[in-house]
Structure 1
Amino acid sequence: MLAYLSLGEVNENRWYFKYVKRCVTGKNPIRKYYYINLSCKTWKNVLLDTVIPKIVEKGFNGLFLDNVDVVDKYPKFKDDMTDLIKDIRARYPNLILIQNRGFSIINKTAKYVNGVVFECFTTYYNWSSGKYESWSGNDLNWVNEMAVKLLRLRSEYNLVIFTLDYADNESLKEKCIEHAKKFGFIPFVSTVNLTTLR
């Protein structure tokens, strides 16, 4: 059973926010979460020494590492994010680690994780229009290029690759599933608020 752990953002409602408040560097305008200055050693120390031990104590045997792709917004933190994932693996060698996206550093982090989630592989939720939409054109080409990259890494590091798409009707859900199966990935489809999962 995996526990959720955001590596690049933090919500002020998290019980450990008061310990890492000094590490925030901006705010996500959509999700109302704070971006983390990954060079702030307090962030790494709190995760490694306090947050993850509490997760393990509750019986979880793995972590879903989210918001790794914050390094796309803050490229200067790429090495810090890579080091954080490396240190989590070193400190907790028996935990299952599943990385969500973070493709700009996946070549360096693949050796430390057990699997990767490709969120928004086929579809995405357009927050401006309030609609579920499919990738097309250059965006879809980029997605498929990343998929081929993941296939190579899967072969090299024995990774499990999942997809997580968002859809609100059966036709769109089937499109997501078929696209994932084309690459041999394990598909999941949900609504944007993750109230259902297929």
Structure 2
Amino acid sequence: MVSRERVTHPRGGPVAFYYGTDEIDRLAAFDRVVLQGEAYSEQDIASLVVRGVRPLCYLSLTEDTGPPAQWQRSESNPDWGGHFVHVGHPGWSEHVLGKAGEMRRRGFRGFFLDTLNIELTFPDDLPHLLTLVAAIRELTYPDYLLANRGFGLLPQLAELVDGVLFESFTSRWVDNGYAPWPPDVLDVHARYAEMLLGLDVEVFALDYADTPRLAQYAQERAARFGMPCFVSTRDLGTLPS
């Protein structure tokens, strides 16, 4: 397993998640921004870097939205449509590392590692997933790595990444809009947050809301755990005004 030394980032501060296009000037207000790699040109990325922003490229590590491939499983994500993958398949590792290398050459300064929660669906793939994260760490060091949840990979995951995102910490999207989690789930999330804060990683929250009241509740609750909280809509297509 490849470990890493702590990388310091003097700006610190918030991270934004935006899967839309354009909005370079508004994105420049954040310290780090998570973007879809194909949505921005090299010139756009360079413009953010010049302004002191660290752009992070989205990477899915256990789901594939591309054309049929030998590493794909027959099952797919019912919400987003991507096929689950055999994480240990050499072709999948080559695919992910190839994309990471390409996006790094285009100017990205780090990666957002998504779809890490497979401990209940494909637990046998957890060791392969840690190996893949370690390979990304080795390929991209000292770029910033931000993991989305990945609780089933802790504490080993904390030795390989710089930050952990707690997505949907307080609120969630439901069939008819957005709502807080029920009290029992909030209690479980609080225990996970306390565990994360005991590790040597930066910790952030991402919540979903469509009203100022719900957004404020999510941000205030995350602040009690010392987590900067970004609030958006389900498609991550909005930025705060």
Shared fold (TM-score, shorter chain, > 0.5): yes
- Which 4+ stretches in 1 moved above 2 angstroms? none
Q: Find out whether 1:53 has 2:101 as its counterpart.
A: yes
Deviations along 1:117-139, one digit per CA (max 9) or x if unpaired, are 1000000112xx23211112321
Whole-angstrom distance in 2 between the partners of 1:31 and 1:114: 27
1:91 paired residue number = 139
Q: What one-letter code is carried by the residue in structure 2 that aligns with 1:172?
A: L
Deviations along 1:65-100, one digit per CA (max 9) or x if unpaired, are 111113432111111111111111122221110000
Question: How many aligned positions are there?
Answer: 185
Give the counterpart of 1:177 among 204, 216, 219: 219
Secondary structure of 1:163 counterpart: strand
2:126 paired residue number = 78
- The normalised TM-score by structure 2 is 0.74
2:192 paired residue number = 146
Q: Find out whether 1:30 has 2:79 as its counterpart.
A: yes
Whole-angstrom distance in 2 between the partners of 1:148 and 1:197: 28
1:145 is displaced (CA, Å) by 0.7
Secondary structure of 1:29 counterpart: coil
Q: Which runs of 5+ in 2 are unaligned?
A: 1-54
Whole-angstrom distance in 2 between the partners of 1:54 and 1:186: 30
1:141 is displaced (CA, Å) by 1.2
Give the counterpart of 1:41 among 90, 98, 101: 90
Q: Which runs of 5+ in 1 are unaligned?
A: none
Whole-angstrom distance in 2 between the partners of 1:32 and 1:130: 20
The structure with higher relative contact order (CA 8 Å, sep 6+) is: 2
Is the Cα contact below 8 Å between 2:116 and 2:149 reproduced in 1?
yes
Is the Cα contact below 8 Å between 1:188 and 1:197 reproduced in 2?
no
Whole-angstrom distance in 1 between the partners of 2:101 and 2:137: 13
Whole-angstrom distance in 2 between the partners of 1:136 and 1:151: 22
Is the Cα contact below 8 Å between 2:110 and 2:140 reproduced in 1?
no
1:9 paired residue number = 63
Q: Find out whether 1:131 has 2:177 as its counterpart.
A: yes
1:179 is displaced (CA, Å) by 0.7
Q: 1:197 to 1:106 in 2, by over 3 A?
A: farther
Percent identical pairs in the alignment equals: 31
Q: Which has the higher helix share?
A: 1
